[in-house]
Amino acid sequence: MSAHCQLTGAKPGFGNSISHSHRRTSRRFDPNIQNKRFWLPSEGRNVRLTLSTKGIKTVDVIGIEAAVARIRARGVKV
């Protein structure tokens, strides 16, 4: 599974590591992805989401129902 957030869409960024001698090698900046289980009262079941830590904080603010609606609007199956 690639490192991306189902809610915010955060994906890895790419750049270069620069050594002391200024040689450049490719590297990737991964978002802090966590697997989290939430209770979805409207469906009476748990849903397991792959979210960045910013996505988890967003769920805390807007609620799980609104978050699942946003994820489904993006075309992701929950």
Looking at residue 38, its pLDDT comes to: 97
Question: What is the CB neighbour count within 10 angstroms for residue 68?
Answer: 21
β partners of residue 28: 14
Question: What is the CB neighbour count within 10 angstroms for residue 51?
Answer: 25
Pairing of strands 33-40, 24-29: unpaired
Looking at residue 36, its pLDDT comes to: 96
Q: What is the pLDDT of residues 2-33, one digit of tens each?
A: 799 999 999 999 999 999 999 999 999 999 99
Q: What is the pLDDT of residues 25-77, one digit of tens each?
A: 999 999 999 999 999 999 999 999 999 999 999 999 999 999 999 999 999 99
What's the one-letter identity of residue 69? A
What's the one-letter identity of residue 27? R
Question: What is the CB neighbour count within 10 angstroms for residue 21?
Answer: 5
Residue 1 has pLDDT above 60, yes or no: no
Tokens of 7: 């809610």
